[in-house]
């Protein structure tokens, strides 16, 4: 009976905190989710919602027949394919190098690599827009034409679909490497040094120790990092919105920016909501698949 009373007392003590969290989740997560799905079936009028026209699945039919949606989807998939491995590989390499015993000024290098992560997306987006400006005024073009003399004419980086996408990919990789590095530094420092000492006795050093000891013991961290990078890639928005605004000719839109354009520029909230619902389902499927694959990994020493 004492155990029951103690349990009830503990639940009563934490109940206000649980209730607050539940209310916040309902207000800021569940309600917008349900409302977004509801809006996707209407030609929604924001000023006078009562005048909204029910369209059924027309917005979803329009979505599947819209070629610009498929361009945005292609760009989003390519964005994930390029930036996720790029951030992962460079981040783990930076972590491995900084974790080496003979490397000095470790705190300084951590700061240098992590500084882009805490920098404002707005600031770094405009910075890259300036660096890759068209004509000889852009710093990158100046280096390519006048200093290195790789090209005779300046490159119109932001006026071409693929070169503009490359600028967006470079920015996203550069900004995300520091986060991956910090995650793997924490994982590396949790691996007992005795394992490496035993491996050296058996003749396993360098790449062999990395492949057979380091990577297997970091599978849980890898699962966490990869899932978050994939979700972040499919939710990317600011860099495209600020650097190219989807141009030229809507060829660099991601799904998020294309949804934003219809919802807040054309005020077609029903169609924008339909795009967001499909994107949410896609992220759910990808996340669920990754969790099924990696979610049960455990580190055992």
The pLDDT value recorded for residue 81 is 95
Of all residues in the chain, the percent with pLDDT exceeding 90 is 47
**What would the pLDDT profile of 12-29 be if each residue is shown by its tens digit?**
888 888 899 899 999 998
Which pLDDT tens digit goes with each residue over 140-186?
Answer: 988 988 888 888 888 889 989 999 999 999 999 999 999 999 999 88
Instruction: List, for residues 240-295, the tens digit of each pLDDT value.
Output: 999 999 988 889 999 999 999 999 988 999 999 999 999 989 888 887 777 666 65
Length of the chain, please? 301
203-228 residue pLDDT tens? 766 677 777 777 778 888 888 898 89
Domain boundaries, the chain: 40-294
**Architecture (CATH level 2) of domain 40-294:** Orthogonal Bundle (1.10)
């Amino acid at each position: 009976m004492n155990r029951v009373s103690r349990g009830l007392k503990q639940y009563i003590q934490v109940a206000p905190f649980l209730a607050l969290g539940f209310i916040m989740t309902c207000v800021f997560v569940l309600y917008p989710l349900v409302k977004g799905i509801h809006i996707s079936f209407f030609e929604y009028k924001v000023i006078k919602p009562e005048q909204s026209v029910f369209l059924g699945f027309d917005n979803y039919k329009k979505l599947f027949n819209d070629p610009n949606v498929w361009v945005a989807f292609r760009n989003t998939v390519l964005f994930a394919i390029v930036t996720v491995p790029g951030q992962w590989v460079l981040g783990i390499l930076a972590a491995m190098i900084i974790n080496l015993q003979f490397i000095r000024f470790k705190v300084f290098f951590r700061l240098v690599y992590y500084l882009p992560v805490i920098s404002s997306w707005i600031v770094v987006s405009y910075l890259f827009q300036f660096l890759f400006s068209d004509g000889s005024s852009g710093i990158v073009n100046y280096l390519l034409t006048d200093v290195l003399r790789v090209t005779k004419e300046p490159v119109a980086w932001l006026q071409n679909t693929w070169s503009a996408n490359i600028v967006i990919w470079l920015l996203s990789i550069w900004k995300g490497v520091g986060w991956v590095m910090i995650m793997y530094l924490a994982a590396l420092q949790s691996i007992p040094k005795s394992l490496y000492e035993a491996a050296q006795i058996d003749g396993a050093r360098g790449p062999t120790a990395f492949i057979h000891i380091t990577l297997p013991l970091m599978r849980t961290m890898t699962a966490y990092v990869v899932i978050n990078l994939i979700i972040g890639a499919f939710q990317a928005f600011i860099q495209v919105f600020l650097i190219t605004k989807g141009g030229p000719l809507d060829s660099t839109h991601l799904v998020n920016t294309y949804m934003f354009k219809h919802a807040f520029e054309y005020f077609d909230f029903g169609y924008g909501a339909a795009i967001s619902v499909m994107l949410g389902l896609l992220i759910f499927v990808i996340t669920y698949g990754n969790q099924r694959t990696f979610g049960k990994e455990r580190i055992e020493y």
